[in-house]
Structure 1
Amino acid sequence: MTTELKTLLDQAADRPATFTPDVADLVAAGRHRTRVRRVVISAATAVAAATVVIAGLLIGQLGNAKPQPATTATQPTMITDLCAKSDDFFRTANDDAWRRQVVSTWTDKVVEVTDPDGAITVRRSPDGSQYAYCVAGVPINGRPLGGFGATLLNVGIITRPFQIQRYWTMACGDVPVDRADRKTLCMGVRYSYAGRVPEGVTRIAFSGLGQHADATIKDGYWVHRVYTDTILKGNTDPIYITMYDGAGKQVFRERY
């Protein structure tokens, strides 16, 4: 016990003398901190004031800004996304390289019909020896609607009599819509028909889906487009294609 007490007394004796603060130094340090605090507060106040002024100017400019005139919506460019050679459908319908060649160089359009959803065209090669059917779609949300869903009817080469080519795709119809709007939803169907005009035929009539119209005929080819707001109508009112000769006699009739 005596030994431990002596040790504690020795440690206390070895400690530094009691600290006595210098009043002058404390006063000087306090004044320095006060000056720094005032500078910071002044700077913050200046920044806040400047922010209020800038915000006020911006609000004033927005309030005085004149409304920009609405831009007129333009019809998107049609994209030809399906072409098939008239006498070799199976080899060329899915040949992308050949299709690009047709779109870029086969500029001679024998016959064509267009509508707000796209077009069906018969094109002739530059040397005049070949023909192709091309379906073009007007893009909706950046996606062309005109080539998918192609269907070949009366399977065989187009040079056979009454050979009819049909394509179908989702469509919007003739009512103007903003096709760039992501909310645009088109539930209709646009059918594209095409073929060679059989010998002696002068009129090709369409009936069905509540419609009656004649196909467009020129230079031995014909094309036609039909729209319906629902594909289900084809079950109750199907499309019929009827061909007549110059005397008005019916020479062909088929349901499609």
Structure 2
Amino acid sequence: MSRRQPASSKSRTNLKNLKNRSSQRSSTAMPTAVQSAVALGKRLRGRAGSNNAYVPPEDWHEPTDREGYRVVSQDPGRGYQHVVTEGEVRDRLSELPKAFIAPLEAVQLSRMTRKKRSFPCYGMQWGSALYLYPLEEGLVEYFNRPPRPAEYNETRAFGGRWVNEAGSQWKLIWTPRTIRDFYLNNVLIHELGHLLDERNTSYRDRERFAEWFAIEHGLRPGGNARAKNSRRKRCNRN
């Protein structure tokens, strides 16, 4: 399967020139021409439905012709922790058909920085690489608004617990087991769906495909029945 290049034709043209450079750009801002394409592959935290093109500086892994993929684990940053390990990522991906993994070249467990905190996301896809982001060490996320219905149902299906503290102040509480399940069976597979999507170009269509892909391939056979039933019902309503 050919590697998926970012969606817009302008971005595809620019990335052809990038392939001849080194396979990693050290902690630099994404070229403006491809920022909107990266926005199509984000798995946002608390901003569902947004296609904001802002992308904080990252260690971007540019497409190469390597076979197989590598896992890069960065320091998560002060006050943050990675919720999955390299071994868990590899084990989960090994359960998928080999054709799904063939275009993948890198999975990065990224660090959290001040700029990334201003626009946090669970995961992101660019070119042939997937990026998974750390969570707060206490495994509690804070929101200044109530959860949206789809957001509430999805996170609850994986064991996330929403608590209304006061007024519009909400928090989403995870345990090590539930957040690991959410990342390995939802976020990781969702981002892989973006990588494999060579047809869709609009934000809405790409999200629909990634959601479908995560539902079809993100839950292990015989896994959490409540999660499986909840996600199937939500899919049928769309």
**TM-score interval for Structure 1 and Structure 2 normalised by the shorter chain:** under 0.3
Normalized per residue, which structure has more strand? 1
Higher relative CO (Cα under 8 Å, sequence separation at least 6) belongs to 2
TM-score, normalised to structure 1, is 0.27
Bigger Rg, which one: 1
Normalized per residue, which structure has more helix? 2
